Amino acid sequence: MEEREPMTVQGELLLKKELETLLSERPKISKEIAAAREFGDLKENAEYHAAKEQQGLAEARIREIESKLSRAQVIDIMSIPPSGKVIFGTTIKLVKLTDELEVEYKIVGEDEADVQIGKISYSSPLSRALISKEEGDIIKFESPSGIQEYEIIEVEHK
């Protein structure tokens, strides 16, 4: 059985938009390949090889997105009654115990994760340490810079 691909509603929309963009670029890439063929000898034709490589990358990404969407388990956090526990889709405010630095993260799917904007993957060490915890709990997890300790200040359904 194929493994489900958890994602938020926003994550699904972003993947669908990316797929639409890639599919709309197919004719342009085909035209670039056709135009490059006209330059002659394909063995030494840089434009042809670049266009073929672009086509290969685009097709691989299209297959990857289609696969993820076919396995998507879209989780709408707004349809789940708040329980006070950290679950996929919740936004968590934390305070780092070593320096009192406050941070906020939303637990999202793999493709949505971007720590720079406060979105972390459900499979990250921090997310795994947070899942099923509640406000006031202290969590420890192993990061590349060593063991980190945080206190959960707030769990939000938003």
Strand-pair partners of 121: 108
Binned average pLDDT, 10 residues per bin, the chain of 158 residues: 85 95 90 74 70 88 95 93 93 93 94 94 94 95 90 92
CB-based contact 112:11 (threshold 8 Å): yes
Q: What is the pLDDT of residue 1?
A: 56
What CATH fold (topology level) applies to the domain 5-75? Helix Hairpins (1.10.287)
Q: What is the pLDDT of residue 9?
A: 94
Q: What is the pLDDT of residue 41?
A: 62
Q: How many CB atoms lie within 10 A of CB 124?
A: 17
Residue 54 DSSP symbol: H
Query: Residues, the chain, total?
Result: 158
Q: What is the pLDDT of residue 29?
A: 84
In this prediction the pTM is 0.80
Pairing state of beta strands 146-156 and 119-121? unpaired
Give the domain ranges of the chain.
5-75, 77-156
Q: Which two tokens stand for residue 100?
A: 């009192």
CB-based contact 42:117 (threshold 8 Å): no
Strand-pair partners of 142: 147
What CATH fold (topology level) applies to the domain 77-156? Chitinase A; domain 3 (3.10.50)
Domains 5-75 and 77-156 share a fold: no
Q: What is the pLDDT of residue 42?
A: 59
d(CA 36, CA 50): 9
